[in-house]
């Protein structure tokens, strides 16, 4: 099989604690065999620490900052402010847990998904030193919960998960034929259609295309799942998903639960690495055996 290797990381707000554990398990053995990484929302944020080679950074951002009232504040939302303050989280994470951008930009290229508020479709940006704060804000700018509309590079955007929650098809479109996907839900999960689709027109009346994208989100999400389960013949997809008992929600704030989710991620990451190394070893042994047999046949 020819083609690139890609790592795709789903978002999911606090459910991203699982991916942070998986990526930290990868860092334990400096496992970075990918040609590029694709992240969306919390998935893109998680990838920053991984690409910079900073274990536990994402865990600290989630458990110490994303649980803080300056980030998540229902009372502020009722008063007309943000339910979540994405800009505060990014700025405070840089202050409290400085990102090694030199190491990050020497590492695997990072592609992040955002949702264009004019088209309702996904746009994708290669993250660089100039657009880093803009892309990370935009990819996590959850509609309704985060009131500002980030604008840069001639467009205005909202959370990438609206249009492309699991950008595995985009990874394939860009040449990846060996794709590892880190999900935020157990593998049995399928997204249900929105119960009150008409409500989106009222809540997002300034951005009707985003409202339509929200109504179509379940279909798009499940199409990505179908692609993962039934990839093209020239593509291999490895899935790392939380176990069925993973019960962390988008806004779970209890550290005990988050710690459990993180440990599940570490265990899943280590299990994936073991299977990868085992398969590589088996293939190498088979090659050596074939070589020895050929020598015997030629003797």
The residues assigned a catalytic role are 41, 159
CA 198 to CA 196: how far, in whole Å? 6
Cβ(35)–Cβ(6) below 8 Å: yes
Cβ(74)–Cβ(83) below 8 Å: yes
């Amino acid at each position: 099989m020819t083609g690139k290797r890609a790592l795709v990381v789903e978002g999911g707000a606090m459910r991203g604690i699982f991916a942070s554990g998986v990526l930290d398990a990868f860092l334990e053995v400096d496992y970075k065999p990918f040609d590029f990484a694709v992240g969306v929302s919390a998935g893109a944020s998680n990838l920053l620490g991984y690409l910079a080679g900073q274990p536990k950074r994402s865990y600290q951002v989630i458990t110490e900052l994303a649980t803080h009232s300056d980030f998540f504040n229902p009372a502020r939302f009722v008063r007309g402010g943000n339910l979540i303050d994405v800009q505060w989280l990014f700025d405070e994470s840089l202050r409290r847990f400085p990102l090694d951008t030199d190491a990050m930009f020497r590492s695997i290229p990072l592609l992040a998904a955002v949702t264009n508020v004019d088209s309702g479709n996904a746009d994708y940006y290669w993250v660089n030193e100039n657009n880093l704060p803009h892309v990370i804000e935009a990819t996590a700018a959850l509609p309704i919960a985060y009131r500002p509309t980030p604008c840069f590079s001639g467009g205005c955007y909202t959370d990438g998960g609206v249009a492309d929650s699991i950008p595995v098809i985009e990874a394939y479109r860009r040449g990846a034929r060996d794709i590892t996907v880190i999900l935020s839900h157990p593998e049995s999960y399928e997204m249900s259609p929105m119960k009150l689709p008409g409500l989106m027109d009222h809540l997002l009346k300034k951005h009707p295309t985003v409202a339509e994208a929200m109504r179509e989100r379940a279909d798009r999400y499940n199409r990505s799942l179908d692609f993962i389960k039934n990839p093209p013949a020239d593509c291999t997809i490895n899935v790392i998903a939380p176990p069925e008992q993973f019960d962390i929600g988008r806004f779970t704030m209890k550290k005990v639960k988050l710690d459990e989710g993180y440990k599940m991620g570490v265990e899943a990451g280590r299990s994936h690495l073991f299977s990868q190394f085992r398969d590589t070893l088996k293939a190498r042994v088979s090659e050596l055996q074939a070589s020895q047999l050929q020598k015997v046949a030629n003797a």
